[in-house]
Structure 1
Amino acid sequence: MWLRTQKRIMNVDISDGGIQGEVPTWFWNLSSQIRLLNLSHNQFVGEVPIISTPSWTDEHRGPWTIYLGSNNFSGPLPLISTIVSELDLSNNSFSKGLSNFLCAAKNGSYRLEILNLGGNDLSEEIPDCWMNWPELTVLILRDNNLIGSLPRSMEVLSNLLSLDLGRNRLNGLFPSSLGNCTKLHKIDLAENEFIGKIPSWLGMRFPTLIVLILRSNKFDGELPQELCHLKDLQILDLANNTFVGIIPRYIGNLSAMVKVKEKVEDDFELNYSFNFGTLIESAMVTNKGNMYQYDTILALFTSMDMSSNNLSGDIPISLTRPAGLKSFNLSKNNLTGRIPNDIGDMKVLESVDLSENQLYGQIPQSFSSLSTLSYLNLSDNNLSGMIPLSTQLQSFDPTSFQGNKLCGLPLLVNCSSDGNIPNHKHEDDESDKDEVGWFYISMAIGFVLSVWGVCGSLLFKRSWRHAYFRFLDRSWEMLLAKLPICWEI
């Protein structure tokens, strides 16, 4: 109630306060004089009404920012003032569509730069009203139930730096309306229903793209050669689609992955790219067999994931050039050939998954020099020979190597003097069992054929049948005649 008496208050931050219940109506009326309103990370409930237009708009007072994220607010999205620059309504229970919110502008354009509506229950199609929001730099709509394709008017968002539409039900081809958003640093379309090929212009129109996440869609076709122009790309996630063809040889020329970055502070431009006002950019990335959300250290992370596709051919040697790559996953494809011998040159590599392919040959000895490696999965291939000795490799679970013809620790299969699997007794036993099995099968077939050969003749040939029974009768009479002699003896 003390806040209700304040006439000149400009900043209200009661975030992380453990506050429950509804926000009183009089509090929303204060929003006309508040420059910063932060109610995030509490347990507020109820609907949010119209957030009033400020009664004064002096530029020296700075932009208006509103953070209501991580509560239990519900109902339709509130209407906001045109002077608001940052709006975070994420992780609530706002429902219905975006039309009333996005298409309400009547007098001029909004100044909004950051809009975070992720983690709600928003549905329906995305309306074609983006011409009212030309200043947007960050747009987050992930984890909702939005449907349909992206509207054409999104092409006016020429200042957009980050777009996150993951985990919705959006569909259609790769959005051509993004072609004019040439300043994008991040594109996340994961876990939707997009189809078709990746357009070649994607690699040409986003020269500063750092994060590209297209996992779990229905994209197909071959990977375009133009992706090699994404010189700043650090995270490439194309997993769980139906891409075909070989892994492009240019993949090792992505210069941002070649450079080993030690600290964000050493690269001001990179640090700026992942921090927008008070929003710290984040991304959901598969690493070490699990999904993780990277935020504060996102700028330090490099990853390449092409798992669960239909890629074929060998692993290009150029893949070992990105010395700054920390994680790569090529599992569940149709890859053949050998693991590149120079994989040990990737000095900061932490996670490798090449499982469920058709790779053959030995595990490169250079694996033993990967001191940072903490996750490895080479299972279900055709690899053979001895597992190289190193502190890391012998510490992994044996399941990391199962489904191959490998020997040595951590497996319980000892290697022979030449470094291969010796002829084990159980293999000979299996061979013997096969031979014995075929012997009994042949004997059974012969018995059946013999019985039916005799019985069939007697069944269909009457003269043979009569002769056969007369022979049995005479034989029985002769046996009975000789029995008394046998008894006397």
Structure 2
Amino acid sequence: MASLKTTFLLLSFHCLLLSTKFISLEAIWSNSSAGNTPGLRILQMVFSSWVGQDCCTWLGVGCNNQTGHDIKLDLKSQPVCNQVAGSGVFCKELKLGGELSPSLLDLKYLNYLDLSYNDFQGIPIPNFIGSLNKLSYLDLSYASFGGTIPPHLGNLSNLYYLNLSTYFMNFSVSNLNWLSGLSSLHYLSLISVNPIKASTHWLQVVNMLPSLIELHLSGCEIQNLPQTLQFVNFTSLSVLDLSYNNFNSSLIPHWLFNITGLTNLQLSSCYLKGSIPEIAIGSLCNLRSLDISVLSGCSNSSLEEVDFSWNMLTGNLPYSLGYFKGLKSLLLSRNSFSGLMPANIGNLSRLEELDLSYNKMNGTILESIISEIRFQNLTKMNSFSLSSTKKLLVLNVRHGWIPFFDLTHIEMDGCQLGPAFPAWLRTQKKLMDISLTNAAILDKIPYWLWNLSSQIFNLDLSHNQLSGNIPGSLNFRLYTSIDLSYNLLEGSLPLWPSVTGLHLRNNSLSGEIPIKIYKEIIPSSLNKLKKLSFIDLSNNHFSGEIHDHWKGMQNLYAVDLSKNKLSGGIPDSMCSLPSLIWLQLSNNNLSRDLSSSLENCSHILSLDLGENRFSGTIPEWTAERFFSIVALRLRGNMLSGKILKNCVHMDLVAKGRQLDYGDPILNTIDLLENSLSGEISIEITDLSALHTLNLSLNQLTGKIPENIGDLQCLETLDLSCNHLSGPIPQDMTSITTLSSLNLSFNDLFGQIPTSNQFYTFFFYPSIYGGNPQLCGFPLRTSCSPLSDGGEEHNDQENFDDDEGSEELWFYVSIALGFIVGFWTVCGTLVLKKSGRHAYFHFVNEMKDRLFVAISVNMARLQGKIES
């Protein structure tokens, strides 16, 4: 991507000594080219204040009011907006980049430097930053610096604020010993700095910072969480964030309880295991946000938030939860808690948000627990989540139950709420977010729910057995997402103009997709469906052609019309949509020539046209025009011609794997069941990341490419039902990842390879069937000396020699083992007299015992027979 780099004089400071200081930086306009005048205008607009001799008035520059010394340089990236004719306000972020000049050292009084959220394109932090000894504030976060953090930063003894957080672990650090020189540090953030996991003494280092108030080490892949700390020195610590790490300890260390000033403690997504200790410690009474264990003993606790979601905590929820009367948010989702919800949660009269979803709690949530008796004090609760994956929870309340709370958000996915639609939801007048998927509801959607359409922004009732018709016209709020998929709904497609996501797959909707859904959004009627961004109508009964009226849907990025009865071709206006990147039209009756259908689909990332009746050849311009496509599925059509060389450089979707939007797109090729001919292009072996190659049920000829072993990531290879000839390349045995192979029904000949990965296919002779001239194990046909020609014959002789040698050594090892074992026992008896006496004494004793046992049992048996 081209960048506009405009070099300019950044500072020209004057101070009491009338000295002049200069810094040079580069301003990078990341989305412009060198001749892009809009970018220039924006640069001029941002730095229009950088004129004149009074630098203290310049944007981002701060001076001491008394001395006039330059003490502050705040150049963090900020959005810049400009009025563009006909398009409204146009906003972009202006990011600085290039290299930092050592002339920064001329700013001898600089104590504040902020270059955050810029784009320095992976350059390392210069060592000379550690020489700005007046610095008290340094923020280089999310500025795309890279490499290793220089230990020279430890020389900044006046520093009280240091933020080196980054994206995607661009930074690395071998140790943190340099932090010990920052005794005045109050704030330290190293979010996503890697690999702190290499430092086993990180805790000892930060414990030497007595003034530290906030510590953020989230996402640093820390594995070592010490269970003991002899002396807690950072007693001033108020905020501790160790979330999103992978601790190798399952216990919450007790030294955490000695940091009495903590107000915010975050340990979410740390893979903590074990149960929450039911301990009475009153040392953390200042906590306002907690996302690990909950402690009792604070009679006047100010704790407002508890969040230890996304861990692996087990056991029952502690009864002490009910002691925190000031609690407003209780988030316990995605752990392994079991049992029932503690009854005294009803004492949390200030509770606003309760999330117990995706645990292992079971049983019936009785009316006596959730209604008047237990939950009558939860009048402020507005968000309730109790989802489950295995329908372990049952809601059992009377039909006329009226709860004391008024929810805006409810999520009870996987709970057994049915068979009737929960009538008590009718009393919730503020509902905006409703998710009751897979809730065992066998009912019609009540009319009163549709009356809430004007305030709903998310409605998910999927995976139930809801029936009836969908109202054709409702007034949902802007940017609403509706998911009614996997139900029994009937009727025609509804027209909801403000909906952005519409999921109706796997229902019984029928009829044509109405023209009105497209026609009413052309510029003369922009109020209709102009916000739609995702539509899924798959697996219904829609029929007819796809109408050519899509131009107005400028926000539409994903369309799924698969598994219907649609006919005709792909409308030009559909493929021309500027935002469309994902289009699924498989399993229909679409036809037409493939070239004309794909002509306008050049910018789509994922295109699935499988299981239709498209004809013609794969266009020669495919790879050239589809410069951005990463997924193309063409299986089960009537395509002919050759597999073009330029076509194999595209990524295609694997046979039998339906990709939902958001799934990772694999580098796989699936052209199964067409009429493609010619040879397999040797260029296909350049796809080094290829995982699946399926070219079966075509009319391909020629040999399997000799260097197919270059596909070292290949897991599935299906070349069956073609007319391929020649031997199976020996190079194929080097593909150690190959787990599925099918070469059946071709004209291959010669010996089947037997080394490396091909050993795993010994029990599947069918994968070689239908090749009369193939021989060798696992087929019953043995290879004769003349069956393969010279080279193959030599390979067979070498294999036979190897096999004979292995057989000879097998029998030799048996003989040697027998000889060694025999003489180990017998030689001892011959050479050692005491051992020989003991052995024969043992044999005689065992003989006598055996004779007595047989005689007694025979006598008993004879007595029973006579009686």
The TM-score with structure 1 as length reference comes to: 0.66
CA 1:226–1:382 in structure 2 vs 1: closer, same or farther (change >3 Å)?
Answer: closer
Cα deviation code 1:143-190 (max 9, x no counterpart): 111122333433551210111111111222337576455431011112
State the partner residue of 1:208: 628
CA 1:210–1:416 in structure 2 vs 1: closer, same or farther (change >3 Å)?
Answer: same
1:299 paired residue among 659, 664, 672: 664
Q: Distance in 2 between matches of 1:297 and 1:35?
A: 21
Deviation of 1:121 after TM superposition, in Å, equals 0.6
The TM-score with structure 2 as length reference comes to: 0.39
Amino acid at match of 2:470: V
Q: Distance in 1 between matches of 2:710 and 2:570?
A: 42
CA 1:297–1:111 in structure 2 vs 1: closer, same or farther (change >3 Å)?
Answer: closer
State the partner residue of 2:450: 28
Q: Which moved more, 1:26-35 or 1:3-12?
A: 3-12
State yes or no: 1:381 paired with 2:746.
yes
Could you tell me the percent identity over the aligned residues?
39
**2:555 partner SS:** coil
2:652 paired residue among 216, 229, 235: 235
**1:366 partner SS:** helix
State the partner residue of 2:708: 343
Greater helix proportion = 1
Contact 2:467 2:488 in 1 (8 A): yes
State how 1:150-189 maps to structure 2 within 5 Å.
150-154=570-574, 156-174=576-594, 176=596, 179-189=599-609
Deviation of 1:53 after TM superposition, in Å, equals 1.5
State the partner residue of 1:355: 720
Amino acid at match of 2:446: P
Q: Distance in 2 between matches of 1:218 and 1:382?
A: 23
Contact 2:639 2:674 in 1 (8 A): no
**2:544 partner SS:** coil
Q: Which moved more, 1:308-317 or 1:164-173?
A: 308-317
Q: Distance in 2 between matches of 1:357 and 1:153?
A: 38
State yes or no: 1:37 paired with 2:454.
no
Contact 1:351 1:374 in 2 (8 A): yes
Q: Distance in 2 between matches of 1:116 and 1:160?
A: 13
Deviation of 1:411 after TM superposition, in Å, equals 1.6
CA 1:37–1:401 in structure 2 vs 1: closer, same or farther (change >3 Å)?
Answer: same
Q: Distance in 2 between matches of 1:350 and 1:68?
A: 36
Contact 1:37 1:67 in 2 (8 A): yes
Cα deviation code 1:43-84 (max 9, x no counterpart): 101101035214x65xxxxx211111111111111121x221
Deviation of 1:208 after TM superposition, in Å, equals 1.2
State the partner residue of 1:96: 511
1:368 paired residue among 714, 725, 733: 733
Q: Which has the higher contact order (CA 8 A, sep 6+)?
A: 1
Q: Distance in 1 between matches of 2:781 and 2:597?
A: 57
Deviation of 1:221 after TM superposition, in Å, equals 4.1
Cα deviation code 1:170-225 (max 9, x no counterpart): 22233757645543101111222223344444433332101111222233345556
**1:22 partner SS:** coil
Q: Distance in 1 between matches of 2:545 and 2:703?
A: 47
Q: Distance in 2 between matches of 1:411 and 1:304?
A: 29
State yes or no: 1:83 paired with 2:498.
yes
Q: Distance in 1 between matches of 2:489 and 2:664?
A: 32
Q: Distance in 2 between matches of 1:310 and 1:23?
A: 48
Cα deviation code 1:63-106 (max 9, x no counterpart): 211111111111111121x2211111111111111114444554
State the partner residue of 1:440: none
2:779 paired residue among 373, 398, 411: 411
CA 1:219–1:330 in structure 2 vs 1: closer, same or farther (change >3 Å)?
Answer: closer
Contact 1:92 1:119 in 2 (8 A): yes
Deviation of 1:107 after TM superposition, in Å, equals 4.7
Amino acid at match of 2:728: I
Runs of 4+ in structure 1 over 6 Å off: none
Q: Distance in 1 between matches of 2:547 and 2:665?
A: 36
State the partner residue of 1:132: 552
Deviation of 1:118 after TM superposition, in Å, equals 0.7
Amino acid at match of 1:108: N
Q: Distance in 1 between matches of 2:484 and 2:695?
A: 40
Q: Distance in 2 between matches of 1:322 and 1:392?
A: 20
Deviation of 1:25 after TM superposition, in Å, equals 1.0
Amino acid at match of 2:636: S
Contact 1:122 1:146 in 2 (8 A): yes
CA 1:17–1:192 in structure 2 vs 1: closer, same or farther (change >3 Å)?
Answer: same
Contact 1:64 1:86 in 2 (8 A): yes
CA 1:172–1:415 in structure 2 vs 1: closer, same or farther (change >3 Å)?
Answer: closer
State the partner residue of 1:72: 488
Amino acid at match of 1:138: A
Cα deviation code 1:288-324 (max 9, x no counterpart): xxx2334489525222233444444443333222221
Equivalenced residues, count: 359
**2:482 partner SS:** strand
Contact 1:355 1:381 in 2 (8 A): yes
1:47 paired residue among 469, 472, 480: 469
Amino acid at match of 2:498: I
Contact 2:643 2:678 in 1 (8 A): no
Amino acid at match of 1:344: G
State the partner residue of 2:440: 18
CA 1:194–1:358 in structure 2 vs 1: closer, same or farther (change >3 Å)?
Answer: closer
State yes or no: 1:319 paired with 2:684.
yes
CA 1:175–1:108 in structure 2 vs 1: closer, same or farther (change >3 Å)?
Answer: farther
Q: Distance in 1 between matches of 2:591 and 2:602?
A: 22
CA 1:354–1:175 in structure 2 vs 1: closer, same or farther (change >3 Å)?
Answer: closer
Cα deviation code 1:223-261 (max 9, x no counterpart): 556536xx5x3216xxxxxxxxxxxxxxxxxxxxxxxxx
Q: Distance in 2 between matches of 1:220 and 1:316?
A: 15
Unaligned runs of 5+ in 2: 1-422, 786-792, 798-867
Contact 2:576 2:600 in 1 (8 A): yes
CA 1:114–1:143 in structure 2 vs 1: closer, same or farther (change >3 Å)?
Answer: same
State how 1:185-200 maps to structure 2 within 5 Å.
185-200=605-620
Q: Distance in 2 between matches of 1:394 and 1:192?
A: 38
Cα deviation code 1:253-304 (max 9, x no counterpart): xxxxxxxxxxxxxxxxxxxxxxxxxxxxxxxx31xxxx23344895252222
Query: RMSD of the alignment, in Å?
Result: 2.8
State the partner residue of 1:241: none
Q: Distance in 2 between matches of 1:107 and 1:34?
A: 22
Contact 1:150 1:175 in 2 (8 A): no
